Amino acid sequence: AYNGLAAKIRDIVAHAVSTWCSAHRLALVVEDACLDCSYIVNAFSLLTMIYNYFSASGKRYAIWERVFAEEERKGVKSWHLLSGTRWYARSSNCSAFVANLDILYTTFDDPELAQDEKKIEIMNYIEDFKTMVTIFLIEPILLEVNCASQFLQSKSKDIGTVTQHIVFLKKRMEFYRDTEEKVLFNQQYQAAVDMCTLQGIAVEPPPRRVRRRPIHLEGAADRRGDMWSRVYNILGYTSI
């Protein structure tokens, strides 16, 4: 039997009606989908390591802020603690990583961090092309999810407006997954290749051909043999 807040309220008011939080349900669905792919799990582990690295030391964060200011960079610069249900942090950290990877490298090159063992561990993750391209692939998807979550939590939206927004989001996600041109994959993959080339990270080619296949969330991604099959499966493709 349920013993949460809704159950306790019904003990007092038997006819009380409760509904699940739509934003929370969305977060749980996305979390299950992401945990189905070990490369996405590794990507989130990297983002967590970066957050822990800077949040644990005022000196490290001061170096990061100084380099950020010297480069006159605008946009997301803060790192957030990842939460299992609040996906803003994951979206924000992905965006900060994609936009500021060069700043991260410059920060790590600072003489004061030369012998930092934790920095070396993070660099080993960053220099894995599979992890890099995964972050670039999921970043726009997480932005969509974060926007939808904020929309669902807005008190000013009525049910009709919310329904229209979710239908529109569903069509956008289906487009990302099903379009023959694979616009999202090609765009994000090329961005990852360009950044990796700039930073001297070895690049791996994707499979030559793909065919569409529905996403399966019951362990199918981890059972597939190679990284590209797993990433394609999350985006609604499978390599052949």
* pLDDT tens digits in sequence order for the chain, 240 residues long: 467 888 888 889 988 888 777 787 888 788 888 888 888 899 999 999 999 999 998 999 999 988 888 887 776 667 888 876 677 888 889 988 998 888 899 999 999 988 888 998 899 889 889 899 899 988 888 888 888 888 888 888 887 888 888 888 888 777 777 666 677 778 888 888 998 898 888 888 765 544 444 444 344 334 434 444 444 454 444 333
Rounded to the nearest 10 degrees, the angle between the axes of helix 129-152 and helix 183-199 is 130
Q: Which of 1, 35, 20, 23 is nearest to 138 (CA)?
A: 35
For every residue of 7-19, which 3-state class applies, written as one string? HHHHHHCCCCCCC
DSSP category for residue 25 = H
DSSP helix/strand/coil, 192: helix
pLDDT tens figures, 38-54: 888 999 999 999 999 99
Token reading at 157: 């939206």
Q: Which of 159, 184, 170, 162 is nearest to 237 (CA)?
A: 184
Token reading at 171: 């069509």
- pLDDT, position 45: 92
DSSP helix/strand/coil, 238: strand
DSSP category for residue 4 = S
- pLDDT, position 235: 46
Distance in angstroms (rounded) separating the CA atoms of residues 52 and 15: 47
- pLDDT, position 76: 66
Distance in angstroms (rounded) separating the CA atoms of residues 222 and 215: 12
Q: Is the dihedral angle over the CA atoms 110, 73, 193, 132 positive or is it negative?
A: positive
C-alpha torsion angle, residues 206, 182, 140, 234 (rounded to 10) = -60
**How far does the chain reach from its first CA to its final CA, in angstroms?**
47
C-alpha torsion angle, residues 134, 178, 28, 24 (rounded to 10) = 120
Distance in angstroms (rounded) separating the CA atoms of residues 162 and 175: 20
Strands (E) across the chain are located at 210-212, 237-239
| pTM of the predicted protein model | 0.75
pLDDT tens figures, 55-68: 998 999 999 988 88
- pLDDT, position 211: 47
